[in-house]
Amino acid sequence: MPKLQGFEFWRHTLQGAHYVVAPMVDQSELAWRLLSRRHGAQLCYTPMLHAQVFVRDANYRKENLYCDVCPEDRPLIVQFCANDPEVFVKAALLAQDYCDAIDLNLGCPQMIAKRGHYGAFLQEEWDLLQRMILLAHEKLSVPVTCKIRVFPEIDKTVKYAQLLEKAGCQLLTVHGRTKEQKGPLSGIASWEHIKAVRKAVNIPVFANGNIQYLHDVEKCIQETGVHGVMSAEGNLHNPALFEGRNPLVWEMAEEYLEIVQQHPCPLSYVRAHLFKLWHHTLQIHQQLREELAKVKTLEGIADVSRELKLRCQEEMASQKEGEKPKGGLPFFHWICQPYVRPGPKEASKENGSTDRSTRGKRALEDEEDASSDFLSKNKQKKKLRNPNKNFDPSLKPKYAKCDQCGNPKGNKCVFNLCRGCCKKRAFKETADCPGHGLLFKTKSEKSLAWKSGRPSLQEPQSRDPRVKEPGGFPEVMGSVG
């Protein structure tokens, strides 16, 4: 059966999905997807997976996709980051039987994407993107889709979208922010860019950005004409967003923890979700925030959540009639609601200081200059553990890349590979690599020499009959009288 394309793919395979949960690294795992589907989500994406790692590491495939197969978890789109057409297609071929489409991440704006050369940092390389999507469109049995960020110019964004469509993209998600708009500098997403793309292409378009409530979804569809709306942060703070509800936080937390019992995931994912759900309450109960950060078990996380519930219920019981939420919140802190990320100035005011060291996450690449006196909280902790640690990037050793996988190669490797790739090649070719301490050739030669030097079992051996045989008894001299 030929694979469906464009609107046919959206109508039939994706069942005309309007409400979409975004691909989120370590946050859109199976348990969270199932919770979101129970509360209105019609389509979910996996977390972003690294195509190169997916190809070479069977455990990575198992942990991130193969063990997460669940009939309730459809329709599902698997997202990859990649910068090589062959690698992208190899990964997609390994994943296509477990999903309804393969998505190429062209929207990640984080520093890790810049260092790895993927995500939004490929958006100027149109020839490469055209080759990647064209090859995937030809080779895969499921459609290929893309998630992009916009350029400052609407015209360039439209040409970019049309190029992806022409290459074989069957559905396009447009995040209405540029790659520079992140962290404290996120700002408002441009629906004008999204609207222009929607009018210019002949494939389904999803919008991403500015979604806090269900009426934002409806407004976005009305203003831009898109076929669906994707939510990331809005969904994390309120998984019932697509139902148009603002439930009690502990209801969502307890339901999520029940699903995790059935579909386990790393504890770090669970902890991160609870931090989002209880975000506003944890600003008040700082001690429980610290406990949530330290607990080492799922039961420990559940205990902290139960304690937060009890404290909220006590506060509700003592609440005066007509009392309004504090801190400018639209609802009381124990109700699921959006979190508006403060800008740089607002973040400084919240902390009562303009000191960069007290700010939240820094967004600009040039702020990673560790030669300054300002370090992130994580780096400050590392500095406490190791006072001699230096974060100046100019002092870090520059590693040459492995010719095969891109990891740092061994400086003395005879094959110019990392240890893992070197070991495979040296074993395959029965060769030595002194740089990595791999001596397959030497050991093989020694083994052959030892075997050729062994006396034959048929050869008569002259020996002293009085010498004790291994595991036996010495021969008795003379006759028995």
pLDDT, tens digit, 9 for 90 and up, residues 282-318: 999 999 999 999 999 999 999 999 999 999 999 999 9
Residue 311 belongs to a domain: yes
* H/E element, 215: helix 214-224
Instruction: Specify whether 139 is located in the same domain as 161.
Output: yes
Q: Say yes or no to pLDDT of 369 above 50.
A: no
Residue 433 belongs to a domain: yes
Instruction: Specify whether 36 is located in the same domain as 178.
Output: yes
Q: Are 268 and 302 in contact (CB under 8 A)?
A: no
Other C-beta atoms within 10 Å of 429: how many?
11
Determine the pLDDT at residue 355. 44
Determine the residue type at 238: N
Determine the pLDDT at residue 455. 61
Q: Say yes or no to pLDDT of 204 above 60.
A: yes
What percent of the chain clears pLDDT 90, i.e. is strictly above it?
68
pLDDT classification of 393: cutoffs 50, 70, 90: low
Instruction: Provide the H-helix boundaries in 57-182.
Output: 58-64, 85-95, 111-116, 126-139, 154-167
Determine the pLDDT at residue 183. 82
Q: In total, how many domains does the chain have?
A: 4
Residue 104 belongs to a domain: yes
Instruction: Specify whether 83 is located in the same domain as 199.
Output: yes
Instruction: Specify whether 51 is located in the same domain as 145.
Output: yes
Catalytic residue chosen out of the listed positions 108, 146, 265, 433: 108
Instruction: Specify whether 28 is located in the same domain as 156.
Output: yes
Residue 475 belongs to a domain: no
Determine the pLDDT at residue 380. 76
Instruction: Specify whether 128 is located in the same domain as 19.
Output: yes
Q: Say yes or no to pLDDT of 190 above 90.
A: yes
Write the CB contacts of 225 (distance below 8 Å, at least 6 apart in sequence). 195, 198, 199
At residue 90, the 3 state secondary structure works out as helix
Instruction: Specify whether 88 is located in the same domain as 187.
Output: yes
More confident residue, 345 or 381: 381
Instruction: Specify whether 105 is located in the same domain as 170.
Output: yes
Rounded-to-integer distance, Cα 81 and Cα 93, Å? 14
Determine the pLDDT at residue 394. 65
Residue 348 belongs to a domain: no
Q: Say yes or no to pLDDT of 373 above 80.
A: no
Nearest CA-CA partner of 304 in 331, 286, 318: 286
Structure tokens at 296: 């080492």
Residue 358 belongs to a domain: no
The residue from 315, 336, 357 where one domain ends is 336
Residue 462 belongs to a domain: no
pLDDT classification of 116: cutoffs 50, 70, 90: very high
**Rounded mean pLDDT of 206-227?**
97
Instruction: Specify whether 233 is located in the same domain as 273.
Output: no
- How far is residue 405 from each of residues 95, 165, 352, measured CA to CA in Å? 20, 30, 47
More confident residue, 118 or 351: 118
The residue from 336, 357, 380 where one domain ends is 336
Q: Say yes or no to pLDDT of 363 above 60.
A: no
Q: Say yes or no to pLDDT of 475 above 50.
A: no
Q: Say yes or no to pLDDT of 161 above 80.
A: yes
Determine the pLDDT at residue 397. 66
Instruction: Specify whether 331 is located in the same domain as 425.
Output: no
Q: What are phi and psi of 156, to 5 degrees?
A: -70, -40
Residue 271 belongs to a domain: yes
Instruction: Specify whether 411 is located in the same domain as 288.
Output: no
Exposed e or buried b per residue across 23-34, where buried means at least 16 C-beta atoms within 10 angstroms of its C-beta: bbeebbbbbbbb
The residue from 221, 245, 269 where one domain ends is 245
pLDDT classification of 329: cutoffs 50, 70, 90: very high
**Rounded mean pLDDT of 364-384?**
58
Nearest CA-CA partner of 140 in 172, 108, 107, 170: 170
Determine the pLDDT at residue 346. 58
Q: Which domain holds residue 10?
A: 6-245
108 noted as active-site residue? yes
pTM: 0.74
Instruction: Specify whether 253 is located in the same domain as 384.
Output: no
Structure tokens at 91: 């990964």
Q: Are 94 and 55 in contact (CB under 8 A)?
A: yes
pLDDT classification of 1: cutoffs 50, 70, 90: low
Determine the pLDDT at residue 466. 54
